[in-house]
């Protein structure tokens, strides 16, 4: 996603990461957040089911192959836990949060970052079709409307002091998001042609809210 770096930086601020702290990035993908956290003086660990890009791009960083639901990390050793654009993919997010509680120290911090797909908005001549395309895309995810659920998920699974922030990405450059738009509206050729035409005329507008939901591990040692 464009504007990704600013979003990651804001997530590090919300977690109040301090030098020397162990920060787990679950579903770390390409490893960019892990590399950035290392440059802040933290001790990041990236976990993902697939690490080929991360290990190639950031060979000096600590990456571990594993799943959010069974983390390859000892209990009570992690100060901060982050997961960006992961929880919408999980069929059982509660299992991943139980693992987050296991690895976090008492009062450890957590942040979940993700989209609310059903809130994406694009300007078009057919708003009803646009809405139904966005909704169909949201429903293809394992947990549709993922990010709206983050607050309740944290409160219901042993986290407290939960705070929600929403950053809204505004895109007017069609080329930058065309692959994503084509994926969402695959098969809707007329609608896609209108969006491409808007792009060529400088009339494209997409608004993508991104949720950052931060909390604190409640309770003592388990």
Contact positions vs ligand SAM (CB under 6 A)? 26-29, 48-50, 67-69, 84-86, 89-90
3-state secondary structure of 210: strand
Q: How far is the CB of 193 from ligand SAM (least distance, A)?
A: 28
Dig out the tokens for 19 from the structure: 């030098």
Whichever of 87 and 204 has its CB closer to ligand SAM, that residue is: 87
Judge whether 20 and 41 are in contact, CB under 8 Å.
yes
Our CB check for ligand SAM shows the closer of 67 and 135 to be 67
Closest CB 51 distance from ligand SAM, rounded Å: 8
Indicate the residue among 67 and 145 with the shorter CB distance to ligand SAM: 67
Query: Are the CB atoms for 129 and 193 separated by under 8 Å?
Result: no
Alpha-carbon distance 180 to 197, whole Å?
Answer: 16
Instruction: Work out how close the CB of 70 gets to ligand SAM at its nearest, in angstroms, rounded to a whole number.
Output: 9
- Which residue has the CB atom at the shortest distance from ligand SAM? 29
Q: How far is the CB of 199 from ligand SAM (least distance, A)?
A: 24
Return all residues near 16 (Cβ < 8 A) that are at least 6 apart. Answer: 109
Whichever of 26 and 133 has its CB closer to ligand SAM, that residue is: 26
Q: 31 vs 199, which CB is nearer to ligand SAM?
A: 31
State in angstroms the smallest separation of the CB of 113 from ligand SAM: 7
């Amino acid at each position: 996603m464009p504007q990704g770096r600013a979003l990651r930086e804001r997530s590090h601020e919300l977690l109040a990461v301090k030098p020397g702290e162990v920060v787990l990035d679950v579903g770390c993908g390409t490893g960019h957040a892990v590399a950035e956290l290392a440059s802040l003086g933290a001790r990041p660990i990236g976990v993902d089911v697939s690490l080929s890009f991360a290990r190639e791009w950031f060979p000096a960083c600590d990456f571990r192959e594993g799943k959010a639901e069974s983390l390859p990390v000892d209990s009570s050793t992690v100060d901060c836990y982050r997961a960006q654009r992961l929880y919408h993919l999980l069929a059982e997010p509660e299992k991943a949060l139980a693992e987050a509680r296991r690895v976090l120290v008492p009062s450890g911090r957590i942040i979940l970052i993700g989209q609310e797909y059903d809130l994406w908005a694009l300007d078009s001549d057919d708003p009803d079709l646009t809405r139904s395309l966005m909704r169909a895309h949201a429903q293809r995810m394992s947990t549709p409307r993922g990010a709206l659920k983050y607050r309740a998920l944290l409160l219901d699974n042993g986290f407290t002091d939960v705070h929600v922030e929403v950053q809204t990405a505004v895109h007017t450059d069609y080329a930058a998001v065309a692959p994503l738009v084509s994926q969402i509206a695959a098969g809707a050729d007329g609608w896609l042609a209108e969006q491409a035409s808007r792009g060529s005329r400088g009339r494209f507008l997409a608004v993508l809210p991104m949720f950052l939901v931060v909390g604190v591990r409640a309770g003592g040692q388990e």
